[in-house]
A and B are shown apart, each in its own frame.
Chain A
Amino acid sequence: DAGVTQSPTHLIKTRGQQVTLRCSPKSGHDTVSWYQQALGQGPQFIFQYYEEEERQRGNFPDRFSGHQFPNYSSELNVNALLLGDSALYLCASSSRFHGEILYITSTDTQYFGPGTRLTVL
């Protein structure tokens, strides 16, 4: 059973550029969350996608946007990159379904991928 996968593993960009990061959730999961982890800090919640819509958003500017596809995979896009965007970007997946029963809140814990290390020069 494949876990959460992310690509690419490393990325170097320059200020002002745009970047797209990708995430494939764990098999059976339908909800994807994105986090930013600056060096020496805990992860910070960016947003969460379910049923191809953004359901929750943390305190991040509109430069950060995302998308979820019908196969539940997701992309994180960051426009107009700043030096401060340099960080490890983590994707986590979870499930709002348990068997055939839809729960209002997820019945499964968030499982994290290995992350994408973004360096902005």
Chain B
Amino acid sequence: AQSVTQLGSHVSVSEGALVLLRCNYSSSVPPYLFWYVQYPNQGLQLLLKYTTGATLVKGINGFEAEFKKSETSFHLTKPSAHMSDAAEYFCAVSVSEGADGLTFGKGTHLIIQP
């Protein structure tokens, strides 16, 4: 069985500041890891994913995440926050890239202060 823990239901940063959203996972097999973003009243949009290979993955909108097996973590970062980044962010884990159900964390609401 897999599980995801997202630390902090709400994170607030100033515009231009570093964004760090934390995600820790539990998986009995090598995990596939994902970050999705959800804007109000919309579905989920894939930001980035880790499958195999390079542990630092780059996604859309300037986001990146690093897979750290020893820490069972997959934290999401962005060097400089923009007002348009305000949204709900979900970390998810699976045993495959798309052939299995995703297990999601509870989400982190990112607030950008002007």
Contact = CB atoms under 8 A, between A and B. Distances in A.
User: Which secondary structure characterizes the binding site on chain B?
Assistant: loop
Contacts of A106: 96-99
5 contacts: A33-B101, A94-B99, A105-B98, A110-B102, A112-B36
A43 B90 contact: yes
Interface in B75-114: 90, 92, 95-107
Given A90-B43, A109-B34, A109-B49, A45 B97 contact: no
Interface string A39-82: 01111110110100001101000000000000000000000000
Nearest to A46: B101
B52 interface: no
A31 B44 contact: no
Interface of A: 4, 31, 33, 35, 40-45, 47-48, 50, 55-56, 58, 90, 92, 94-96, 103-115
Interface in B14-55: 34, 36, 42-46, 49
Contact of A48 (B49, B92, B100, B103): B100
B95 to A, nearest CB: 8
A31 B104 CA distance: 19
Contacts of B95: 105
Nearest to A55: B99
A41 to B, nearest CB: 6
B105 A96 contact: no
Contacts of B106: 41-42
Contacts of A58: 101
A31 B98 contact: yes
Given A31-B98, A106-B98, A42 B43 contact: no
